[in-house]
Amino acid sequence: MRKFLIAGNWKMNGGEQFTFDLLSVIKNQKPAISEDIDVLVCPSFVSLSIAIDQLHKSDVLVGAQNIHEAEKGAYTGEISASMLVEAGCSYVLLGHSERRAYYHEDDALVHKKLQTALRNELAPVVCVGELLDERKENRHFEVVKAQTLATFEGLTYEQAVQVVVAYEPVWAIGTGETASPEQAQEMHAFIRSILAEQFGDAANAIRIIYGGSMKPANAQELLSQPDVDGGLIGGASLDAKSFVSIIEIAESLTNSVREIDSPTTLEED
Ligand code: PGA
């Protein structure tokens, strides 16, 4: 079974004090997390160490929001994958639409970063998703297909199953507008079909999570879709009550609706 991943993308919000306070409330409201789901928070670089210290004995994982594609060197202001691993991070967000739009990250650069993350055993969460105009012009499948193929190009099966895809329709990010559960499922199944062409049945082991105004009010419907394996949550992850409530919704769904091939079954093929 693919484990749900519930991930908070804090973006450029919250310094150390905010991080400490928010995580204290989350830990207090949710002292234990089911083994059937993964929970991740991605604070800013300067708040990572406080988050890692605070979550040391908890089940909540910590990730970063970006890396540089090089292992090290003269790149003033940048952060490497190995620095993050040494700090205690286990995941990194890559190719978020805000980075693609404001920092000109294209598919080729995102792919280089992905390879660097994998080399350093940092699990990449790679964001893909179409702009509003692209959906209006009915080009959303084409756009997401190109991003997905570029992400997974040349990866082995062992590498591919480390990658999490986050489908984030750009028109739904921070807008309060969410993809309908049907739109999300349609795109997630489409992404999985592209992965199946490259990796066969192994595509069933790759997690595809949804992002774009996920909140407690819509999480149940979105997470009930068979190909939606979790959420990448921006705004609602900055509020302990909302984030905890999405975690609880995911926990409540793990036993009921998720009857999915496990990687163990796949390896036997
Ligand atoms: P949002 O952000 O939940 O605030 O829409 C999601 C994201 O950008 O990852």
The response to whether residue 174 sits with its C-beta less than 6 Å from ligand 1 reads: yes
| pLDDT for the residue 57 | 87
Average pLDDT of the chain, as a whole number: 94
Q: What is the mean pLDDT of residues 197-217?
A: 96
Give the residue-averaged pLDDT of 212-226: 97
**Ligand 1 pocket check for 211: Cβ under 6 Å:** yes
83 Cβ contact partners less than 8 Å away, ≥ 6 residues apart: none
Pocket test for ligand 1, best of 233, 239, 242, 243 (most atoms within 8 A of CB): 233
Adjacent-strand bridge partners of 208:
165
Q: Is 96 considered catalytic here?
A: yes
The predicted structure's pLDDT at residue 89: 98
CB atoms closer than 10 angstroms to residue 233: 28
Q: Which residue's CA is minimally distant from atom 2 of ligand 1?
A: 234
Question: What dihedral angle (degrees, nearest 10) is formed by the CA atoms of 42, 182, 228, 81?
Answer: -40
**Distance of CA 8 from the midpoint of ligand 1 (Å):** 9
Q: What is the mean pLDDT of residues 9-32?
A: 97
Can you give the pTM of this predicted structure?
0.94
Distance 13 CA to ligand 1 centre (A): 12
Q: Can you give the pLDDT at residue 266? A: 39
* 91 SS3 class: strand
Please identify which of the residues 69, 98, 105, 168 carries the catalytic annotation. 168
69 band by pLDDT with thresholds 50, 70 and 90: very high
Q: Which amino acid type is present at position 90?
A: S
168 is catalytic: yes
Tokens 């192994």 sit on residue? 202
pLDDT of residue 268: 36
173 Cα–ligand 1 center, Å: 5
**Which domains does the chain carry?**
4-253 (3.20.20.70)
* Cα separation of the two ends of the chain: 16
**236 closest CA partner among 1, 5, 6:** 6
Task: Please say whether the dihedral angle defined by the alpha carbons of residues 17, 18, 21 and 27, taken in this order, is positive or negative.
Answer: negative
pLDDT in tens, 70-111: 999 999 999 999 999 999 999 999 999 999 999 999 999 999
pLDDT at 261: 46
Given a contact cutoff of 8 angstroms between Cβ atoms, the answer to whether 194 and 148 are in contact is yes
Predicted confidence band of residue 256 (pLDDT cuts 50, 70, 90): low
